[in-house]
Structure 1
Amino acid sequence: MPARMRRASVAAAEPGDTAPPPGRHHSARAWRRASELAVIVLATIALLGLLYWARALLLPLVAGLVFGMILGPISDRAQRIGISPVVTNLSLLLVLALAVSGAAVWFVPTISEWIADAPNIARTVREKVAVFERAASVFDEIAGLFQGSVTTPTVQIAPEQTAVVTSVFSAVTPAFAQFAVFLFTLVLFLTGRKSIKAKLVLAMPSRAARLTTLRVLSEIENELLGYFAVAATINAGVAIVTTLALFALGVPAAPVWGFLAFVLNFLPVVGPLILKVALLGMGVVAMPTLGAALLPALAYLAITTVESNLITPRVIGGRLTLEPLFLFVAICLFTWLWGPVGAFLATPLVIVAVTLQSYVLPSDAIDLPA
């Protein structure tokens, strides 16, 4: 054996120069992935904590930006036909203000009447459910025969109107402040929208990145406007049909319930479920019999079934596909973080996230085995 080969074999046999075993390499890779996952989890928890802690400020700011991205393309399209953006923005803000104030003026008196009539409503509910109380008392008496005693439960309903009114007034003051922040954010975004987009695009390092940024911003605005326009049209139809159906059934304040159907239908799955429960409770109070009490909720169930299974998939299904479970989790999450307004912002924010994901993390479609 040549001397060079002998030296190489001796050097390879030295214990200090042996390669690490394969298991140790895989273990280091696993620990590195676990540490990366831990950092992602901690960052997510910190982000959720920030969103919850700063909700009083972030909620109106995000709402103003979302509505600005919805209304912005309308200003662009009006400018193409010769209408000044200033006139369009002022008109849009005026329509929005009139809609909010009109809904408040129309809706608040009905709520005030319901609060003032709370004792009568509680008494009516107690009378309607008395049959169930009597049935429950029969079972209690039968159980008492075996236990040696008979107990009859009593139901006491003592509504505290003062506490309700106090809580309402305590919520009004911060609501006005948040609405002011929302309005200023919306106005400033609409007036400086083109300048903001230009600065974001020019901040990108390359021409390809600038074109991608411009394309992403335009697609987000178009998707939000398209979704909102189609959803508002469908919800208006649901509100009209619901109002007519409840009016035919003799439900009091049928237009108010139609308005609630319009608003709550912006919340997929959750909103219609809330209104069905509310209509069932209203039926127990307003209808003469328990059988008739089911009719308002059943009528609304039929309307939403047709809308969600026949109309919405045909109209909006081709424009945007959102995973129902993902959307439901987002609605629950933003409701917990930001309350009812967060629930309404959940779908637009999911649309923004899905659009960004399609550009930032593009993926080719892969046919998975069934």
Structure 2
Amino acid sequence: MRQKPNWAQIGIFLSLALFVLDWASDFLIPIVAAILGFLIMRPVERSMSKLGIPSAITAFLICAVAGAGLTFAAWNFSHPIAQLAEDLPNMINDLRRMPSAAAETLDKLGEAAKAAEDAVASAKDEPAMAVKVVESTNFVSSLIASAPVVLGQIVLTIVLMFFLISSGSSFVRKLVESLPRFSDKRAAVAMVQQVEQKLGQYLGGITLINLCLGIVIGAAMAAWGLPNPIMFAVIAFSLNFIPYIGAVFGALLASIVGFNVYDDAWTAILIFATYMALTSIEGQFVTPHVISNRLKLNPTVVFVAVAFFAWIWSVVGMVIAVPILITVKVILDQTSSTRSVGLFLGGEGAGGNYLRGDDPDS
């Protein structure tokens, strides 16, 4: 008789897993990022090994290029982006000048908030404004305060990725050898190969697409006369790794800057529409053509995954949510007992085509 699942144990395990993911986020984020980077770069390491280049040299070159790219981006774009973030609250406050019903609503909400604040202040000895001044924070100061943690995570990711890549196939071979049965070993090899293929296909394609999209959006923002269009190109390239939310946030950011430049609501709306139109063309036509339909994922599951990892791992979680989801789907598709869950994670029309020709049971 088939044993029924113990839902109490499952619930306890999920609760503990959620707690650990949140509690150990500073440690787990670079670990997960390094493993994903290792799986993506493993085909490169194998190709270089066939040419007689040692895995350690390949790992050093890959990590050096990654470190140099991050250093270049931080050196050239961190200051204008930080300055934009510093000025953003004032830009949002300037939206009150917008001659529309939305601005009137904001003013009414501001008056209601002021009245509520006065009512609370009159009932206390200490004025509410004093608390407001003490709790106000500066974005640049908070960014500088968090810089050591972020830098430590980046260094840990690159160093761990170096050790994983330099180990060549020995890391995967030891993982396979630890499994007891031959069928398990074969399934593990197939799983690793599928994860490498799908992650490389997704991230390689999406990086190329985002690069082109960033150039196009940068040119469009330059045509609108916004300051520092290269910065908007970098923002568009980075934010488009975040499904759904990234495009909307980038468009809002561009429209807010546009309103402060032109002091015209219609121009800001047109800038927003331009940004969204370009990202919509990319999402509806370019990405499905460049990236195979076998990589389709359930849009609802993608959105929930992005929201979940944003909740526990902030911005980095939103970026790596889809690669993690792809990895989980590949693992679930490798066994018959979990294949129905993997089918649910797939998008409409993907179905069994996700691993077409790669079913280990076929």
Q: TM-score, normalised by structure 1?
A: 0.77
Shift of 1:226: 1.3
For residues 293-315 of structure 1, give each alpha carbon's deviation from its aligned partner in whole angstroms, at most 9, with x where no partner exists. 12221111111111111111122
Cα separation, partners in 2 of 1:310 and 1:111, compared to 1, 3 Å: closer
Give the corresponding residue for 2:183. Answer: 208
Partner letter of residue 179 of structure 1?
A: I
Cα separation, partners in 2 of 1:139 and 1:320, compared to 1, 3 Å: closer
Conserved? CA contact 1:69–1:221, under 8 Å: yes
Partner letter of residue 360 of structure 1?
A: T
Partner letter of residue 61 of structure 1?
A: I
Conserved? CA contact 2:98–2:264, under 8 Å: no
Match of 1:312 among 276, 282, 287: 287
Shift of 1:139: 8.9
Please say which of residues 175-184 and 236-245 is displaced more in the overlay. Answer: 175-184
Q: For residues 21 and 66 of structure 2, what CA distance do their matches in structure 1 show? A: 26
Give the corresponding residue for 2:68. Answer: 98
For residues 101-128 of structure 1, give each alpha carbon's deviation from its aligned partner in whole angstroms, at most 9, with x where no partner exists. 11111111203433665687467444x3
Shift of 1:130: 5.9
Give the corresponding residue for 1:9. Answer: none
Shift of 1:269: 1.2
Conserved? CA contact 1:115–1:161, under 8 Å: no
Give the corresponding residue for 1:21. Answer: none
For residues 18-76 of structure 1, give each alpha carbon's deviation from its aligned partner in whole angstroms, at most 9, with x where no partner exists. xxxxxxxxxxx9xx95x722221221111111110111111111111111111121111
Cα separation, partners in 2 of 1:284 and 1:196, compared to 1, 3 Å: same
Partner letter of residue 32 of structure 2?
A: V
CA RMSD after TM alignment: 3.1
Q: Does 1:280 align with 2:249?
A: no
Cα separation, partners in 2 of 1:92 and 1:273, compared to 1, 3 Å: same
Match of 2:238 among 257, 263, 272: 263
Give the corresponding residue for 1:247. Answer: 222
Cα separation, partners in 2 of 1:118 and 1:327, compared to 1, 3 Å: closer
Q: For residues 247 and 275 of structure 1, what CA distance do their matches in structure 2 show? A: 15
For residues 297-346 of structure 1, give each alpha carbon's deviation from its aligned partner in whole angstroms, at most 9, with x where no partner exists. 11111111111111111221424121111111111111111111111111
User: 1:252 aligns to what SS in structure 2?
Assistant: coil
- Indicate the structure (1 or 2) with the bigger Cα radius of gyration: 1
Shift of 1:161: 8.3
Q: For residues 267 and 138 of structure 1, what CA distance do their matches in structure 2 show? A: 33
Give 1:1-370 correspondences, 5 Å limit.
36-114=6-84, 121=91, 124-126=94-96, 128-129=97-98, 135=104, 163-361=138-336, 363=339
Q: For residues 73 and 232 of structure 1, what CA distance do their matches in structure 2 show? A: 17
User: 2:242 aligns to what SS in structure 1?
Assistant: coil
Partner letter of residue 240 of structure 2?
A: N
Q: For residues 107 and 63 of structure 2, what CA distance do their matches in structure 1 show? A: 61
Please say which of residues 241-250 and 185-194 is displaced more in the overlay. Answer: 185-194
Conserved? CA contact 1:216–1:359, under 8 Å: yes
Identity %: 25
Q: Structure 1 unaligned runs (5+)?
A: 1-28, 141-155
User: 1:76 aligns to what SS in structure 2?
Assistant: helix
User: 1:360 aligns to what SS in structure 2?
Assistant: coil
Shift of 1:361: 3.5
Partner letter of residue 217 of structure 1?
A: V
Conserved? CA contact 1:116–1:161, under 8 Å: no
Conserved? CA contact 1:231–1:266, under 8 Å: yes
Conserved? CA contact 1:266–1:344, under 8 Å: yes
Cα separation, partners in 2 of 1:46 and 1:268, compared to 1, 3 Å: same
